[in-house]
Amino acid sequence: MNILVTGGTGFIGRWVVGRLLKDGQKVWVIDNLANSSLDNLKEYSGNEHLQMVKIMDLKDRESLIELFRDTTFDLCYHLAASINVQDSIDDPETTFNNDTIATFYLLEECRKQHVKIVFISTCMVYARASDERGIHEQSPIKPASPYAGAKIAAENMVLSYFFAYGLPVVVVRPFNTYGPYQKTGGEGGVVAIFIHSKLKGEPLNIYGDGTQSRDLLFVEDCADFVVEAGYSDQLNGEIVNAGTGKDISINLLAELISAGQAPIHHIPHIHPQSEIQKLLCNYQKAEKILSWTPKVTIEEGIQRTENWIQSTFHRKDVSKS
């Protein structure tokens, strides 16, 4: 198949690209590099199936129209987005434009060619988990930040194209994803940030009291889920979750990562109004329809992530000396 991946140089995007190339698919990548780097795809630079990597903003409609005019796609994985909750609170317009308006522009081009689109949303659209059965696809949503609001708006537009035009679409909601190639600064995830702090000999800073919990999904498991959701026709017009079915408090996560090697501090929360106290995924739908289950445990995932961050920093340190 000819497959377009937007945001394909980003954290999850580069793993999706890798899985598609491994499957022998022909892959085109577009990204505006606002939150990523071409270096993330360096591993695949010589791959015969990687057709194009283009620096492009989805909001540039002329370039988008030209891309679809030049190539006939079978499938589109749409990962490009503004993903930082605090940035969305500080500057909601940018997040809305990138996450909702750009998705509309892409939908219009996919509609013209009847290209199936897999829209990568987020667990942050949900209200907190109310019990140990976890959050399922019919659980209440709560746009507690402009990021969540923009994603919900985009989800609804994507689903409307299925009902109005018969366009094959899938909305996927991965839970908190972590692993190699995730940013280790403020735009990264909690696992990468904690590991980075430990390796630098700095305290692990927890927002609030640390009792909030997360269902942490390793990035390769997430990429497999995203790709399989695109391959299956059974999920057309559907929303589907991916997670591990287990949550861990931020306090326990910090202890697991620090392993007694770094102090743990609690600091005032930067956006308490947008905090979701308990995120726990019910992924029975993905398991039933896609036969997908997560394979990597939190302990193994943390170790693999730490190994990658360690080797990346060592490489940079050697090059500077």
Kindly state the greatest CA–CA separation across the chain: 60
**E strand residue ranges, the chain:** 2-6, 26-31, 50-55, 75-78, 116-120, 169-174, 177-178, 204-207, 213-214, 217-218, 238-242, 248-249, 264-267
User: Can you tell me the distance from the alpha carbon of 312 to that of 20, in angstroms, rounded to the nearest whole number?
Assistant: 25
Q: What is the pLDDT of residues 84-126, one digit of tens each?
A: 999 999 999 999 999 999 999 999 999 999 999 999 999 999 9
Q: State the pLDDT at residue 226.
A: 98
**CA angle, residues 132, 247, 121, in degrees to nearest 5:** 100
Summarize pLDDT for 229-275 with one digit per residue, the tens: 999 999 999 999 999 999 999 999 999 999 999 999 999 988 888 88
CA neighbor of 170 nearest in space, from 218, 129, 227: 227
CA atoms within 13 A on the CB side of 274: 20
Mean pLDDT calculated for residue range 287-302: 98
Above 70 in pLDDT, residue 318? no
Beta bridge partners of 31: 55
What is residue 273's predicted lDDT score, i.e. its pLDDT?
87
* Cα 50 from Cα 27, distance rounded (Å): 5
**pLDDT score at 98:** 97
Give Cα 310 to chain centroid, integer Å.
22
- The separation between the first and the last C-alpha atoms of the chain, rounded to the nearest angstrom, is 45
Residue type, 255: E
Question: CA 274 to CA 278: how far, in whole Å?
Answer: 12
Our CA angle for 224, 229, 232, nearest 5°, is 120
Residue 320 pLDDT class (50, 70, 90 cuts): very low
How far is the CA of 182 from the CAs of 75, 133, 194, 313, in angstroms? 25, 29, 12, 13
Q: What are phi and psi of 30, to 5 degrees?
A: -125, 145
Contacts of residue 17, Cβ cutoff 8 Å, sequence gap at least 6: 5, 8, 27, 29, 41, 44, 50
Residue 315, pLDDT above cutoff 80: no
Predicted pLDDT at 118:
98
Give the pLDDT confidence score for residue 187 in this predicted structure.
61
Structure tokens at 92: 């909601």
Please give the DSSP secondary-structure letter assigned to residue 42: G
Pairing type for strands 248-249 and 213-214 reads: antiparallel
Q: CA distances (Å), 180 to each of 14, 42, 306, in order?
A: 10, 14, 8
Q: What is the pTM of this model?
A: 0.95
Tokens of 11: 């954290």
Give residue 293's Cα distance to chain centre: 17
CA distance 167 to 255: 46
